[in-house]
Structure 1
Amino acid sequence: MAKTLQGWERLQRRLKAIPEAVRKAAVLELERQAADMVETMQSLAPVADGDLRDSIVATPAGRSTPPYSQPGGATVVPELSVLITAGNSEVRYPHLVEFGTKSHEIKAKMAPALRLHGGRFAESVQHPGAAAHPFFFPGYRMSKQKTARAVKRAMAKAIKESKRVN
């Protein structure tokens, strides 16, 4: 565990040594690339009423992600990063769409609403399951390398410009 903490402290020192101009360039490019990644994920998301697609958002550093979002829940985004999430307080099922569900039995005591239909479903019902419709992680994998290249390019450009000024 000590090695992990030492590595974290070393990373923090290295991040603090980055010039402000380079930080700003990296953050701007991260936000630009995150917007592109969100568009890719939204284009891959299945659309019934559009709620799932519209719940995919990028949250910049210092802000809190939407409550009930996947992955993350209401989390404050750390410095020099952008968090992309799917879901919110109205859309709480993105993980079920992404990974699918298997067939399962819903017992009446688990879902009291089953008893409302004239006792027709008094004991239980069999849910057939749902096929997976991956949209989040394929969108991430499609955009990951392009994003890394673009951020590195923006940082290198900012470093060259700061050397010219000095």
Structure 2
Amino acid sequence: MAKLVTGSKELARKLAAIKDHVAAELRAELVKAGHVIADDARALAESSRRTGDLIESIHVTGPGETTPPHSTDGGQRTAGPFEVLVTAGDSDARHAHLVEGGTKPRMHRDGTTTGTMPAQPFFNPAWRLNRRRLEQRINRRMRKAFREATK
């Protein structure tokens, strides 16, 4: 049975302890979830392997860390305090979006055309395969952390 909290100082102390404990547990679970998605994206990207640069460019960026150059919209981004970013692409592999979505023929000014490449999605399927299960796992971890902190 939970102890009865009396007084505003004790309540503030207890709430701060809950916040800190739940935040630490949540960050750890988010990073684990990011690694699950990244591992599955790497496995799904195997079918498009030529040099391995694309597979090696799949990174997990934890809270407060910065993504590799050229991984998100051609730049870098710093993850928020409760955010984990899984990105594909870096300075050596800038073609993740072309593999994911494929290409269509395109006419250049000099009259030449680019070839077509069928889509070989790896990133979005990895997210869709894991999303529901990881959300449930994160929610369970938060509830458990909250229970532990309120004992």
Q: TM-score, normalised by structure 1?
A: 0.75
What 5-or-longer segments of structure 1 have no aligned partner? 1-15, 109-123
Task: Say if 1:65 and 1:75, in contact at 8 Å, map to a contact too.
Answer: yes
Select which of 42, 45, 61 maps to 2:63.
Answer: 61
Shift of residue 48, structure 1, vs aligned partner: 1.1
1:42 and 1:100 map into 2 onto residues whose CA distance is: 17
Corresponding residue number in structure 2 for 1:11: none
Identity %: 34
User: Displacement, 1:72?
Assistant: 7.1
Cα distance in 2, alignment partners of residues 135 and 71 from structure 1: 18
The change in CA–CA distance for 1:53 and 1:137 in structure 2 (over 3 A counts) is same
Distance (Å, rounded) in 1 between the aligned partners of 2:74 and 2:81: 16
> By how many angstroms is 1:17 displaced?
10
How many residue pairs align between the two structures?
A: 134
Task: State whether structure 2 residue 41 is matched by structure 1 residue 41.
Answer: yes
TM-superposed CA distance for 1:107, in Å, is 3.6
The match for 2:129 is: 142
The reply on whether 1:89 has 2:91 as its aligned counterpart is: yes
After superposition, the Cα gap between the structure-2 partners of 1:72 and 1:61, relative to the gap in structure 1 and judged at 3 Å, is farther
Alignment check: 8 A CA contact 2:60 2:86 kept: yes
> Whose strand fraction is larger, Structure 1's or Structure 2's?
1
State the superposition RMSD in angstroms: 1.8
Q: How far apart are residue 143 of structure 1 and its match?
A: 1.0
TM-score normalized by the length of structure 2: 0.82
Aligned residue type for 2:77 = T
Q: Which has the higher contact order (CA 8 A, sep 6+)?
A: 2
Paired residues for 1:6-45 under 5 Å: 19-45=19-45
Alpha-carbon distance in 2 for matches of 1:80, 1:65: 15
Task: Give the secondary-structure state (helix, strand or coil) at the position aligned to 1:153.
Answer: helix
1:156 aligns with 2:143: yes
